Amino acid sequence: MVNIKINGIRIQVPDHTTVLEAAKKVGVHIPTLCHLKLDDFGIVNKVSSCRVCVVEEIGKPSLIPSCSALVYEGMNIRTDSVKALNARRNNLELLLSNHPFDCLTCAKNLQCELQSLANELHITEIHAKGEKMFYPIDKSSNAIVKDPNKCVMCRRCETMCNEVQTVGVLSAINRGFGVVVAPAFNIDLADSSCTYCGQCVAVCPTAALIARSDIQKVWRALANERRHVVVQVAPAVRVAIGEMFGMAPGTISTGKVVTALRRLGFDAVFDTNFGADLTIIEEANELVHRIQHGGVLPMLTSCCPAWVKFFEHQFPDMLDIPSTCKSPQIMLGAIIKSYYLKNLDILPRRLKVVSIMPCVAKKAEGARPELSKDELNNVDYVLSTRELGYMIKEAGIDFANLEESEFDNLLGESTGAAAIFGTTGGVIEAATRTAYEMITGESLGNVDFKQLRGLEGIREATVKIGSLDLKIGIAHGLGNARKLLESIKAGTSHFHAIEIMACPGGCIGGGGQPYHHGNQEILKKRQDAIYAIDKSLPRRKSHENEMVLKLYDEYLGAPYGEKAHDLLHTCYTPGERI
């Protein structure tokens, strides 16, 4: 413990506390911008570049950044000296002097941390005006729009892309006033090895990195009477969307989402969780098949499109180990466009599938050419959780007070196993529940595999299934995934199955979710809600989903069979590292 003084207030704090944290303890607020710290997820952006949080250390000529400066015995800090206040205001003014003033039509209007800061410091005039950056906006990808002119060089995206995700696409380029975060040589994102995980979008304080908006395309489809527009909702959406309407983080709003989607005019509202249960059947069968027939092990999950793109680019020589299963949204899309379509009396191209996803990469996944049949994509439009929130607001729906309703049948039925797809460890837990019963032929009593849950970046567990010790690995965050893959490559670890989710925390922390603004408690509440949904459901094993069984019975035939392969499995393409 060390003794320090902040604004004359004495306080004792542990070693390695930052000045910012210490100030918070004595009720002193210091504005921040580039600062980002999610301890439980191992994420910290420590560049200290914005200089908005500088404070005066008595006796030192230069101001220090409170977000990264550590306390020491006898430290004497003034956060409210004129010198510090002037510097903060001046630095914020400088950032604003190089920012496009299109707040009214900006995607981050009222969600922008720079805007809030300008409000907080009550900036009404910019004294040193001058030239502004002028870079073209990168709209090359199907998922992320990059507007360098709104970049404040907080480097949070770079920390996510390089340190957390180890994708290594985003970094500062050029120098001086022209510095901006971009892929090497300022190439388009679409030409880079970007996975579209969207973690850069999730942490960007401004609208320099945003998800591509597909709202207008969906409105257009809904407005067209000749279109039959169906929608599906991913598991992690229902535990987060309430945040956009003033509801507490972790509020479960499944029924309200369904009602809202019907009111928006969708012709049918299905549940991606159905696709998740379907995925488990296929994946568990594939795993058992691989184990029993001496196939390649470990088998890696393939639900996460950012993870898929990551291994295509980073481990192109290991494309035989991921499961060939399509992701739940694509599986459901494929079923809608085949099984569901055959009962509709419309031209196939008039059936449109919209997905509501907590994700940015799902947008790019939807556009992948191999995820289509007869030149029609399995999924037509992918909206993020945020975009659905904007549509609901635009339509004037009072979401918080909406009555609840049920998904349409039969693609709306799901089990607790599907619900937990929304968080790290969930997919493998769901698969284990099914694999256990498949291999042992016994009924599984306690379905809670607590050893698979948690927030540690890499987790390992052994589950006893009959005579088999099923060795399971779990990683969330692509950096952790890389570590696991490298250990496999080096032959130092031996797993049967590995679950990987690209985003920290899994889909609950996806790039398409309402902005968490660096508050990790929000992510934890969402995770709790996911497990609460699982617990509340009568059926908690995917193979007990009667509608899924019916689908196999009526239409698909045997799991992991020929028709299932045609509709529900895919292949991978090696990529380059750029």
Partner 1 sequence: MNSKYTLLVCDGASCKTTHKANLAAGFKKVIAEKKLGEFVSVVKTGCFGICGQGPIVKVLPDDLLYVSVKQTDIEEIVEEHIKNGNVVKRLLYTDPFTQEPVEKQKGKKIYQKQFRIALRNCGLINPEDITEYIAVRGYEALASVLADKTPIEVVELMKKSKLRGRGGGGFPTGLKWEFTAKQPGNEKYVICNADEGDPGAFMDRSVLEGDPHSVLEAMAIAGYAIGASQGYIYVRAEYPLAIHRLNIAMEQAREYGFLGKNIFSSGFDFDIDIRLGAGAFVCGEETALIHSMEGQRGEPTKKPPFPSVSGFRKKPTSVNNVETFANIPAIVLNGADWFASIGTENSKGTKVFALAGKINNIGLVEVPMGTTLREIIYDIGGGMVNNKEFKAVQSGGPSGGVIPKEHLDTPIDYESLKQIGSMMGSGGLIVLDEDDDIVQLAKFYLDFTQDESCGKCTPCRIGTKRMYEILDRLTKLEGSPDDLDILEDLAVNIKNSALCGLGQSAPNPVLSTMEYFKDEYEAYAYRKVKHTYSIITDKCIGCTKCARVCPVECISGSVKVPHVIDESLCIACGACYTACPVNAIEKP
Task: Report the catalytic residues.
Answer: 283, 286, 303, 323, 362, 365, 370, 507
d(CA 91, CA 93): 5
Q: On the CB side of 146, how many CA atoms lie within 13 Å of its CA?
A: 22
CB closer to partner 1, 23 vs 508: 23
* Rg, the chain, Cα only: 25
Contact range with partner 1 by CB under 8 A, out of 126-134, 355-363, 412-420, 548-556: 126-134
CB closer to partner 1, 89 vs 227: 89
For residue 504, count other CB atoms closer than 10 A to its CB.
29
Query: Whole-number minimum distance, CB 521 to partner 1, in Å?
Result: 27
Contact pick of 22, 38, 153, 361 for partner 1 (by CB under 8 A):
153
- Please report whether residue 98 would count as binding partner 1 according to CB under 8 A: yes
Query: Whole-number minimum distance, CB 171 to partner 1, in Å?
Result: 7
- Please report whether residue 226 would count as binding partner 1 according to CB under 8 A: no
Contact range with partner 1 by CB under 8 A, out of 89-97, 100-108, 211-219, 341-349: 89-97
Residues between 384 and 443 that touch partner 1 (CB under 8 A): none
Contact pick of 175, 226, 441, 491 for partner 1 (by CB under 8 A):
175
Helix boundaries (H) for 293-412: 305-314, 328-335, 361-366, 385-394
- Please report whether residue 444 would count as binding partner 1 according to CB under 8 A: no
CB closer to partner 1, 10 vs 83: 83
Contact pick of 20, 47, 321, 488 for partner 1 (by CB under 8 A):
47
Report phi then psi at 222, rounded to 5: -65, -30
CB closer to partner 1, 98 vs 545: 98
d(CA 300, CA 323): 6
d(CA 198, CA 220): 26
Contact range with partner 1 by CB under 8 A, out of 122-130, 427-435, 472-480, 570-578: 122-130
Binding mask 49-88 for partner 1 (x = CB under 8 A): xxxx-x------xxx-x--xxx------------x--xx-
Instruction: From 555, 550, 265, select the one nearest 409 (Cα to Cα).
Output: 550
Binding mask 179-218 for partner 1 (x = CB under 8 A): x---------------------------------------
Contact pick of 2, 44, 94, 537 for partner 1 (by CB under 8 A):
94
CB closer to partner 1, 164 vs 419: 164
Amino acid sitting at position 451: Q
SS3 470: strand
Query: Whole-number minimum distance, CB 46 to partner 1, in Å?
Result: 8
- Please report whether residue 97 would count as binding partner 1 according to CB under 8 A: yes
DSSP-derived pairing of the beta strands 468-476 and 497-501: parallel
For residue 62, count other CB atoms closer than 10 A to its CB.
8
Query: Whole-number minimum distance, CB 97 to partner 1, in Å?
Result: 6
* Residue-wise DSSP of 398-416: -GGGPPP-PPPSSTT---H
Amino acid sitting at position 447: V
Sign of torsion over alpha carbons 298, 299, 302, 303? negative
d(CA 340, CA 68): 55
Query: Whole-number minimum distance, CB 58 to partner 1, in Å?
Result: 14
- Please report whether residue 18 would count as binding partner 1 according to CB under 8 A: no
Query: Whole-number minimum distance, CB 41 to partner 1, in Å?
Result: 22
CB closer to partner 1, 172 vs 367: 172
CB closer to partner 1, 99 vs 543: 99
Query: Whole-number minimum distance, CB 188 to partner 1, in Å?
Result: 21
Torsion of CA 531, 536, 540, 542, to 10 degrees: -80
Encoded tokens for 557: 């035939």
CB closer to partner 1, 61 vs 441: 61
d(CA 474, CA 462): 11
What Å distances lie between residue 125 and 121, 128, 146, 550, CA to CA?
A: 11, 9, 28, 66
Report phi then psi at 38, rounded to 5: -120, 80
With beta carbons less than 8 A apart as the criterion, state whether 570 and 186 touch. Answer: no
Facing residues of 138 across strands? 146
With beta carbons less than 8 A apart as the criterion, state whether 77 and 55 touch. Answer: yes
- Please report whether residue 294 would count as binding partner 1 according to CB under 8 A: no
Query: Whole-number minimum distance, CB 64 to partner 1, in Å?
Result: 8
d(CA 203, CA 29): 21
CB closer to partner 1, 65 vs 250: 65
Query: Whole-number minimum distance, CB 48 to partner 1, in Å?
Result: 5
- What distance, in Å, lies between the first and last C-alpha atoms of the chain? 46
- Please report whether residue 19 would count as binding partner 1 according to CB under 8 A: no
The count of residues interacting with partner 1 (CB under 8 A) is 38
- Please report whether residue 116 would count as binding partner 1 according to CB under 8 A: no
- Please report whether residue 22 would count as binding partner 1 according to CB under 8 A: no
Provide the binding-site residues for partner 1, judged by CB under 8 A. 46-52, 54, 61-63, 65, 68-70, 83, 86-87, 90-91, 94-95, 97-98, 127-128, 130-131, 152-153, 171-172, 174-179
